[in-house]
């Protein structure tokens, strides 16, 4: 039993994204066919959320980040969200109309999620997936929906604000920066 549990934990650890890392260049599709290019937000702290339109925790996280965008946007923060549902292209327009977010929302397909969130092809991480990206386009932290950070909304607010204030990584930053967040 112990060996099986240990093996599962080791496999799970392999599926977590490495941080820090450069943000992959993946445009987020929109219902208006005007892709969101995340590179245009360089110079701002960026919070990227990958969510499911059917997930109540995702909806709560996006509502929290709506207030974070309004509060910290003037200080250099930008929130962007992308639905990852299989039928997201058909759902996202009505989702935006219903919730009226103050930040851009679009959608990604599975391959794009794998690339931008740096997850293994067969992995099925819990949503929402939240990436905290610094002003230089480096993913500093990444959390999955089952992480304790989501239990207290102040954690997400604090991490969001921190992305507007961080300093650039030193040369060889991957060697000296914090380990991956799970």
Structure tokens at 120: 């293994």
Predicted model pTM: 0.83
Q: List pLDDT tens digits, range 57-75.
A: 999 999 999 999 999 999 9
> What is the spatial distance between Cα 114 and Cα 159, in angstroms, rounded to a whole number?
23
> What is the spatial distance between Cα 162 and Cα 158, in angstroms, rounded to a whole number?
6
The stretch 103-126 carries a mean pLDDT of: 93
More reliable by pLDDT, 158 or 168? 158
The radius of gyration of the chain's CA atoms, rounded to the nearest angstrom, is 16
The stretch 72-81 carries a mean pLDDT of: 96
Mean pLDDT over the full length of the chain: 86
More reliable by pLDDT, 64 or 182? 64
Which pLDDT score is estimated for 172? 58
Give the three-class secondary structure for 109. Answer: coil
Distance separating the N- and C-terminal Cα atoms of the chain: 24
H-only helix segments in the chain = 2-15, 56-72, 88-99, 110-117, 153-162, 173-176
Angle of the 56-72 helix axis to the 88-99 helix axis, nearest 10: 50
> What is the spatial distance between Cα 169 and Cα 100, in angstroms, rounded to a whole number?
35
Comparing 10-14, 25-29, 122-126, 160-164, the range with the smallest average pLDDT is: 10-14
Domains of the chain: 2-176 (3.40.30.10)
Cβ neighbors of 121 (< 8 A, separation 6 or more) are 114
- Residue 138 near residue 20, CB atoms below 8 Å: yes
Which pLDDT score is estimated for 16? 53
Which pLDDT score is estimated for 173? 53
H-only helix segments in 23-166 = 56-72, 88-99, 110-117, 153-162
Q: List pLDDT tens digits, range 18-53.
A: 899 999 999 999 999 999 999 999 999 999 999 999
């Amino acid at each position: 039993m112990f060996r099986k549990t240990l093996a599962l934990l080791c496999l799970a650890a392999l599926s977590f994204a490495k941080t820090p890392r450069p943000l992959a260049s993946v445009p987020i599709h929109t219902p208006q066919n005007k892709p969101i290019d995340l590179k245009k937000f360089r110079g701002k702290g960026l919070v990227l959320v990958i969510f499911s339109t059917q997930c109540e925790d995702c909806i709560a996280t996006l509502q929290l980040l709506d207030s974070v965008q309004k509060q910290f946007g003037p200080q250099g923060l930008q929130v962007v969200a992308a639905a990852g549902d299989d039928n997201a292209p058909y759902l996202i327009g009505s989702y935006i109309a219903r919730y009226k977010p103050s930040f851009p929302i679009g959608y990604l397909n599975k391959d794009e999620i794998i690339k931008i969130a740096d997850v293994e092809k067969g992995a099925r991480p819990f949503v929402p997936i939240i990436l905290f990206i610094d002003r230089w386009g480096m993913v500093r932290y990444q959390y999955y929906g089952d992480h304790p950070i989501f239990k207290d909304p102040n954690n997400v607010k604090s991490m969001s604000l921190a992305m507007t204030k961080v300093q650039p990584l030193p040369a060889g930053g991957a060697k000296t920066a914090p380990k991956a967040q799970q």
